[in-house]
Amino acid sequence: MDDFQVDVLVVGAGNAAACAALAARETGASVAMLEAAPEAERGGNSTYTAGAMRVVFHGVDDLVQLYDLTEDEKRDVDFGSYSADEYLDDMGRVTNYRCDPELTDILIGRSFETMKWMRSKGVRFQPSYGRQAFKVNGKYKFWGGLAVEAWGGGPGLVDLEHKAAVKAGIPIHYETAAVSLIEEDGVVRGVIARHKGRKVRIGAKAVVLACGGFESNAEMRTRYLGPTWDLAKVRGTRFNTGAGINMALAIGAKPHGNWSG
C-alpha cells in the first residue's frame, strides 16, 4: 500500500464512519475509509448491535417511507408513534441529562430524514417484531417507540453500508490503523497509518475521526473509569482502543464531556 491523497479521509468503518463517507462522496469529494480490523471483523461496535434505531415517526405513513409493509401490516399492526419529545426524554434519562443540547436537537430533528437518506443509499430496514412487539388478541403491538431495525441487525447494516461505499467509489482499506494526525500550522492535513506493519502517509483536506471509543484499551479504562476497570470483560470489537481520541489529544484537541458516564 503506497502513500495517497484524498479530499476526505474517514478513520473508522462502522455506521457513523460509513455514513460520513457516503455523505462526503455525495458532494463530489474523493473519499477513503481506514479500518483497523481485517475485513472479517469490520464495522467496529456497529457489527455487535442488534440494529434497532430510534427515529421520530408519527404512524404507519411515516414508516412506509423507511421499509416495505404489506396491506395487512398497515391495517392490523399497531406500530404506535415516537415523538421528538419522547426521544428527548429518553436521551435525558439514559445520559443523566449530560447529553449536549445542540447535538441532541440535531440527532432528534434529523433522525427521520437521515434514515430515509440511508435507505436511498441501499440500507434496508424492517419492523423490529422480534424484540419490540408483542401480540394482543393475535395482533402485533409495538412498545417503547422502537419500530425500526436494520435488516440483518448490526452485521447486515455494516455489510449494506460497505457495499454502498464500494458502489460509490469509496475504497475501504482494511488492516490499516491510523497512528497519528498530520498537523501543519494548526491545520490537520491527513494521517499517518500503519498497514500490515508498514507506515503509510495519507494526505487529506479533511479528516473525520469515526473510530470509536476506548473500551478495548485497559489503560484508558483505568485512567478514565477508575480502578479495577482494567479487569472488565469487554463485549464488542477489540479494535476500539481510543486511537482517534489519543491522536486528537496529541495535537492539542480539548477534551469535552463526561468520559466516565
User: What pLDDT is recorded for position 115?
Assistant: 98
Q: Tell whether the model's pLDDT for residue 152 goes beyond 70.
A: yes
Distance CA 137, CA 45 (A): 38
Percentage of the chain modeled with pLDDT above 90: 91
| Residues sharing a CB contact under 8 Å with residue 38, sequence separation 6 or more, in sequence order | 174, 175
Global confidence as pTM: 0.93
Q: What distance in Å separates the CA atoms of residue 109 and residue 95, rounded to the nearest whole number?
A: 18
- Least confident segment among 16-20, 119-123, 227-231: 227-231
Query: What average pLDDT score do residues 94-112 get?
Result: 95
Of 180, 165, 153, the C-alpha closest to 248 is 180
Quote the CA–CA distance of 152 and 156 in Å, as a whole number.
4
Q: Would you place residue 261 in the very low, low, confident or very high pLDDT band (cuts 50, 70, 90)?
A: low
Here the cell at position 38 is: 481485517
Q: Which run of H or E residues covers position 5?
A: strand 4-11
pLDDT band at residue 1 using 50, 70 and 90 as cut-offs: confident
CA distances from 133 to 12, 46, 55, 125 (A): 33, 23, 16, 16
Which domains, from first to last, does the chain contain?
4-48+166-250 (3.50.50.60), 60-151 (no CATH)
pLDDT grade for 142, boundaries at 50, 70 and 90: very high
Q: Which of 68, 141, 66 is nearest to 111 (CA)?
A: 66
**Looking at residue 195, what is its pLDDT?**
96
Cell readout for 166 is: 464500494
pLDDT at 138: 85
Read off the pLDDT of residues 46-92 as tens digits, 9 standing for 90 and up: 999 999 999 999 999 999 999 999 999 999 999 999 999 999 999 99
3-class secondary-structure state, position 192: strand
Per-residue pLDDT tens digits for 181-216: 999 999 999 999 999 899 999 999 999 999 999 999
Q: What is the mean pLDDT of residues 244-257?
A: 94
173/169 Cα distance (integer angstroms) = 13
Average pLDDT over residues 108-118: 98
Angle between helices 153-167 and 15-26 (to 10 degrees): 20
Helices marked H in the chain: 15-26, 60-63, 71-76, 84-95, 101-109, 111-120, 129-132, 153-167, 218-225, 243-250
Q: What is the mean pLDDT of the chain?
A: 95
Other beta carbons within 10 Å of 78: 14
